[in-house]
C-alpha cells in the first residue's frame, strides 16, 4: 500500500496572507502545493460532509483550531506550530485509501504512474496453445466483421438523427449466494472488471445498496435512474427464502443497469462504490481462458467463451 509523506517546513506571504508550502512524496511521485489555512479548512469541511453523506464512519483527525486571541501571521513561532499541526493532519487523511476517489481530494495527491493490469496475450504465463491461438484469430476475424456491421448501423442511425453512446460496460455484477448474519441478509456479490485480470467478491446488505441509490438520486443526471428494488410492506424478507432469491435477482439486475450508463459510472457515488469494493473485497485471480476471453471483449466489445470454443474445436477434430 502506498504511503504519502507530507512535509510543511516553510511558508511565504502574499498580500499579507500566509501560504504554507506543502511537499508531498509517494514513492517516486512528488508534488508541491501552496495552500492557505482557509483552503485546508475548506478541505476538512468537505471531508466531514462526505463522511456523513456516504456514511463512511471514519474517525477523522481534529483540524487545527484558530487562535483565540491575536493573529497567527503576526508570530513566526505560531506560523511554524500551525504548519506542523497541518502537516500531521494532512498526512493522516491522505493515507486513508477509501477517500482517494473523491475529486476534491485528488488535487492534493501526486500522480502516481500505475501499472495497467489490462489483459495482454503476451503477459499470460502459460504454455503456448495452437488451438487457443487459432480461436483467438478466428474471433478477431469475426469481431472485425461485427464492427463493420456496427459501423454501418451507427451510420444509418446518425443519418436518421439517432446517436449511440458507444459505451461498453466495464463493470458486471453477479449475485448467486447469500448468508444470514445477525438477523439480516448479506448478499455475496462478484464484481467483474473487464479491463482487469481480477474479480472481486464482497458482501453487502440491501440497505447499503439502497443508501448508494439515494446518493445517486441527489445527482443531476440527464438519464433516468432505474428503479431500486422496493422494500416489503409487510413482513421481513429474511423469513422467506424465495423472496430473498427474488430480491437477489432484482439487485443484480439493478447493479448491471446503473453500471451500463457512462454518466452514472463516472458519478462520485459509483466511483467511490467501486473504489471501496477493490479495497475491501476479496480479489479472485482469473484463469487463462477467462483472461483471453476478456482480451477479446476489450478489442471488440463482444463476448467470447474460449473454454467452450476450445471444447467445440476438439470435438470437430475427433469427428
Per-residue confidence of the chain (319 residues) as pLDDT tens digits? 568 999 999 999 999 999 999 999 988 789 999 999 999 999 999 999 999 998 888 999 999 998 766 677 878 888 999 999 999 999 999 999 989 989 899 889 987 633 333 333 333 333 334 444 444 444 444 444 544 454 455 445 444 443 445 788 999 999 999 998 888 899 999 999 988 878 999 999 999 999 999 999 999 999 999 999 988 766 666 677 888 899 999 999 999 999 999 999 999 999 999 999 999 899 987 664 455 445 444 444 444 444 454 454 455 445 4
* Domain regions of the chain by residue span: 5-106, 166-318
Domain 166-318 has CATH 3.30.1520.10: yes
For the entire predicted model, the pTM comes to 0.66
Q: Do domains 5-106 and 166-318 have the same CATH topology?
A: yes
Helices (H), 160-287: 206-217, 241-258, 262-265, 268-280
C-alpha distances out from residue 118 to 196, 202, 291, Å: 5, 22, 9
- What pLDDT is stored for residue 207 in this prediction? 92
CATH class of the 5-106 domain in this structure:
alpha beta
Q: How far is CA 83 from CA 4, 9, 15, 22, 48, in A?
A: 17, 7, 19, 9, 21
State residue 318's pLDDT score: 52
State the Cα–Cα distance between residues 84 and 82, nearest whole angstrom.
5
In the DSSP assignment, the letter for residue 267 is S
| pLDDT score for 74 | 79
- Output the nine-digit C-alpha cell for 49: 460532509
Look at the block and give the residue holding cell 437477489: 248
pLDDT score recorded for residue 285 = 75
- Residue 28 host element (H or E): none
State the DSSP code for 198. Answer: E
Which residue in this structure is represented by grid cell 492557505? 36
Cell 410492506 sits on residue:
233
Yes or no: say if 98 and 58 are a contact pair by the CB < 8 Å rule.
Answer: yes
Amino acid at each position: 500500500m502506498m504511503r504519502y509523506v507530507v512535509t510543511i517546513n516553510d511558508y511565504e506571504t502574499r498580500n499579507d496572507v500566509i501560504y504554507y508550502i506543502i511537499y508531498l512524496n509517494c514513492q517516486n511521485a512528488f508534488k508541491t502545493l501552496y495552500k492557505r489555512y482557509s483552503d485546508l479548512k475548506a478541505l476538512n469541511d468537505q471531508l466531514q460532509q462526505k463522511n456523513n453523506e456516504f456514511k463512511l464512519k471514519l474517525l477523522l483527525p481534529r483540524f487545527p483550531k484558530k487562535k483565540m486571541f491575536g493573529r497567527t501571521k503576526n508570530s513566526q513561532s505560531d506560523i511554524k506550530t500551525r504548519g506542523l499541526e497541518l502537516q500531521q493532519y494532512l498526512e493522516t487523511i491522505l493515507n486513508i485509501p477509501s477517500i482517494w476517489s473523491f475529486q476534491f481530494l485528488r488535487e492534493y495527491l501526486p500522480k502516481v504512474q500505475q501499472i495497467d493490469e489490462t489483459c495482454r496475450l503476451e503477459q499470460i504465463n502459460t504454455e503456448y496453445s495452437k488451438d487457443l491461438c487459432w480461436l483467438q484469430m478466428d474471433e478477431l476475424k469475426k469481431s472485425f466483421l461485427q464492427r463493420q456491421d456496427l459501423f454501418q448501423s451507427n451510420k444509418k442511425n446518425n443519418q436518421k438523427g439517432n446517436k449511440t453512446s458507444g459505451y461498453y460496460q466495464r463493470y458486471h455484477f453477479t449475485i448467486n449466494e447469500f448468508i444470514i448474519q445477525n438477523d439480516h441478509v448479506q448478499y455475496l456479490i462478484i464484481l467483474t472488471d473487464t479491463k482487469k485480470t481480477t474479480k472481486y467478491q464482497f458482501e453487502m446488505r440491501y440497505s447499503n445498496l439502497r443508501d448508494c441509490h439515494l446518493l445517486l438520486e441527489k445527482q443531476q443526471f440527464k438519464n433516468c435512474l432505474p428503479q431500486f428494488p422496493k422494500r416489503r410492506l409487510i413482513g421481513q424478507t429474511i423469513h422467506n427464502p424465495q423472496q430473498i432469491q427474488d430480491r437477489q435477482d432484482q439487485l443484480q439486475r439493478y447493479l448491471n443497469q446503473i453500471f451500463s450508463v457512462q454518466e452514472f459510472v463516472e458519478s462520485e457515488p459509483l466511483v467511490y462504490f467501486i473504489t471501496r469494493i477493490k479495497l475491501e473485497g476479496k480479489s479472485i485471480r482469473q484463469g487463462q481462458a477467462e483472461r483471453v476471453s476478456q482480451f477479446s471483449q476489450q478489442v471488440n466489445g463482444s463476448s467470447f467463451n474460449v473454454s467452450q470454443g476450445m471444447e467445440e474445436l476438439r470435438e470437430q477434430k475427433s469427428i
